[in-house]
Structure 1
Amino acid sequence: MEKRIPTNIITGFLGVGKTTTILNLLKNKPDNEKWGVLVNEFGEIGIDGAILTEQGAQIKEVPGGCMCCTAGVPMSVGINALLRTKPDRLLIEPTGLGHPKKVVATLISPQYEKYVDLKATIALVDPRNLSNTKYTENQNFNDQLDTADVVIGSKVDQCTVADIDAFNDWITDQAPAKTFSKLIKHGELPLEVLDNVRLHGSASSQIEDHHHEHAEMEPQFQLPPGQTYIRKENSGQGYKSCGWLFGPEVEFNFDDLFSMLSDLTAERVKGVINTDQGCFTFNKANGVLSVNNLSLQGFESRLEVIDSQLLPWDQLEKVLIKLADIE
């Protein structure tokens, strides 16, 4: 390769708006540049890749919990495929339950030092979570913030003055200091932040090997021939997920689906779903369900539900089958 590719890790816990932020970055990137995005999700279905594909970037997915497992092979396969397309910039979105230090260590290893110019690691945090022990006592939550060179307070439009004060106090107390911090809404991260430098040595320390249960890592979860839908589960780090993939011929009733997802008591819900009113993304975090229209056609519907408790997946599946009118 003629030059090292500027690369950023964009990390953050479940529901902080990583995908929304990357979508905004892709919408505002220079027209003459080609960007690559490596997406990792805790679930097995691969929702984010479907959402980001609309923006024309080169997308590679690593489903199944943690891209740095199995000696980093799934991550390396995805990075290598993207580097072969000679992108002008590479963005890496680890799962909200991922291990950012291990990802950083891989990117600055001899394997990639000639090809990847690792810039600042950017962590998104919902300021409301800084006052909640459910998050502040979670090791991954703290690892993500500790690893970051840049910390962005997201969803500021949903925060109180006390939430913003908590964010500012946290930033002030950091040692070494972060290179940059900012409060944003709707994922509106300025492009120039991507060129902030990495704090050498602060994020690349090794961490203990971790082990968690997940299915084999596939480059893309596929619906077997002859099947209308399939379900896959994953667990690890205190969380459970269940995902469904439905064939492109399956169409859900929008109103009934919206009502069901609104009532669903899960910590995180993401989906790209064909309905009788078109294709939509469904995104639920902090109890709020947001919906956006997509121009995708002929695409399999995907739904992922994540919670710290084991939910009644069989019962939920029966509801989905009824809403899709599958016999």
Structure 2
Amino acid sequence: MSKRIPTNIITGFLGVGKTTAITHLLKSKPAEEIWSVLVNEFGEIGIDGAMLDQLDNVHVREVPGGCICCVAGLPMKIALNMLIARTRPDRILIEPTGLGHPEEIINTLTGEYYDNVLDLCATLTLVDPRRLSDERYIGNASFNDQLALADIVVANKTDLASEQDKEIFNEWVQQHGKDKSGIEWISHGKIDPQWLLKPRRERAAQQGEQHRSALAPRQEVALPVALAEGESWLCRTNQGNGFYSVGWLFHADIPFDFNGFFLLLSGLSVMRFKAVLNTSQGRYIFNAENGVLSVNQPPLLDDGEPLESRLECIDDKPIDIAALQASILALQLLPGFAQR
């Protein structure tokens, strides 16, 4: 290639708002530029790509089903190579799973194979200040090393943070943030595109081995999940690093009761639930994090083609899949569909 492609890793733990932030960046990019996004998800269904792949001059490729950093970068290399070859982007954004560890991703992108292809710029790590007092987060190796390897730490959702939350974050900055290129405060994922231009610095992970030993290695590239002919819906599960996921894919012709689904998620006690859903009131994005639910409408696609509904639940304890699935199926407005 005639010049190296500017590339940024945008990381952060579960529910911090990475996809919202990337969507903001994609809407803010120069109209004539082509940007490509590599999305990695812990769950098998793949939802973030469906949220992002709706903008002009933007190309998205997903690697679902686990952390792309844990098999010598093989899944990431294959997906990234295809993305570069097919889209010839002006910039690449990489969104690892919230449970992922960025060390091996950085090593791969700065290794000999990509040295003349990619220009790895600043790594941005989003953090919710409310989580710096939660042991489930601060006791997690990936959470801590996402912050350790960040060039720029971005406090997101600051409109929801209390004064105590902000004080705890400021204490963290005093202890760990002195070598960072930036400490920023935002709400609603409104990252300044200029931050992408800052250079990357060499940084050391603190708990990388702990993350790798907790995950079963994945030797193959997970293919995007798709419904077979005549199949109305399917369910897929995954687990690793002390976390569990279950996801569903539903045919585009199956709508769900909006109010019923809103009530279901409002009372659901899990770390993370997200869905892009066809409902009685239109297509909506549902995001639930630790009991807090938000609902938004995605932008309409120009071609108007109907899209499947995608749902994913992640928790740090085993999920009662049968009970949750029964609740979801009960909200279908076209009963009688069966899983093949």
Q: Same fold (TM over 0.5)?
A: yes
CA distance in 1, matches of 2:329, 2:78: 35
CA distance in 2, matches of 1:80, 1:145: 27
| Alpha-carbon shift at residue 203 of structure 1 (Å) | 4.7
Note if 1:88 corresponds to 2:97.
Answer: no
| Correspondences of 1:3-14 after superposition (within 5 Å) | 3-14=3-14
Of the structure 1 ranges 272-281 and 160-169, higher mean CA displacement relative to structure 2 is found in 160-169
Letter in 1 for 2:126: L
CA gap of 1:124–1:171, structure 2 versus 1, over 3 A, is same
Do the aligned partners of 2:141 and 2:207 also contact (CA within 8 Å) in 1? no
Partner SS for 1:271:
strand
Do the aligned partners of 2:272 and 2:315 also contact (CA within 8 Å) in 1? yes
| Alpha-carbon shift at residue 204 of structure 1 (Å) | 7.6
CA distance in 2, matches of 1:16, 1:207: 21
Match of 2:335 in 1: 326
CA gap of 1:205–1:311, structure 2 versus 1, over 3 A, is closer
CA gap of 1:237–1:50, structure 2 versus 1, over 3 A, is same
Match of 2:270 in 1: 266
Do the aligned partners of 1:214 and 1:235 also contact (CA within 8 Å) in 2? no
Note if 1:212 corresponds to 2:215.
Answer: yes
Note if 1:285 corresponds to 2:294.
Answer: no
Match of 1:256 in 2: 260
Match of 2:125 in 1: 123
Residues 164-215 of structure 1 deviation map (CA, whole Å, 9 limit, x = unaligned): 122122112226610101110000110100011111x315899434452488
| Correspondences of 1:88-107 after superposition (within 5 Å) | 88-107=90-109
Do the aligned partners of 2:142 and 2:207 also contact (CA within 8 Å) in 1? no
Letter in 2 for 1:308: D
Partner SS for 2:248:
strand
Match of 1:69 in 2: 70
Residues 147-171 of structure 1 deviation map (CA, whole Å, 9 limit, x = unaligned): 1111000000000112112212211
Note if 1:221 corresponds to 2:221.
Answer: no
RMSD over aligned Cα atoms: 1.7
Residues 78-112 of structure 1 deviation map (CA, whole Å, 9 limit, x = unaligned): 11122122111100000000010011011001010
CA distance in 2, matches of 1:63, 1:182: 30
Unaligned runs of 5+ in 2: none
Do the aligned partners of 1:283 and 1:289 also contact (CA within 8 Å) in 2? yes
Match of 1:163 in 2: 165
Letter in 1 for 2:195: V
CA distance in 1, matches of 2:296, 2:177: 39
Give the % identical residues.
Answer: 47
Do the aligned partners of 1:45 and 1:245 also contact (CA within 8 Å) in 2? yes
CA distance in 2, matches of 1:27, 1:37: 13
CA distance in 2, matches of 1:131, 1:211: 23
Do the aligned partners of 1:41 and 1:64 also contact (CA within 8 Å) in 2? yes
CA distance in 1, matches of 2:251, 2:221: 21
CA distance in 1, matches of 2:143, 2:320: 27
Do the aligned partners of 1:213 and 1:234 also contact (CA within 8 Å) in 2? no
Partner SS for 1:24:
helix
TM-score by length of 2: 0.92
| Alpha-carbon shift at residue 255 of structure 1 (Å) | 0.9
Do the aligned partners of 2:74 and 2:221 also contact (CA within 8 Å) in 1? no
Unaligned runs of 5+ in 1: none
Match of 1:241 in 2: 245
Match of 1:134 among 136, 148, 155: 136
Task: Give the paired residue count.
Answer: 326
| Correspondences of 1:7-86 after superposition (within 5 Å) | 7-56=7-56, 57-84=58-85, 85-86=87-88
| Alpha-carbon shift at residue 326 of structure 1 (Å) | 3.0
Letter in 2 for 1:9: I
Letter in 2 for 1:6: P
Letter in 2 for 1:7: T
| Alpha-carbon shift at residue 131 of structure 1 (Å) | 1.7
CA distance in 1, matches of 2:50, 2:170: 35
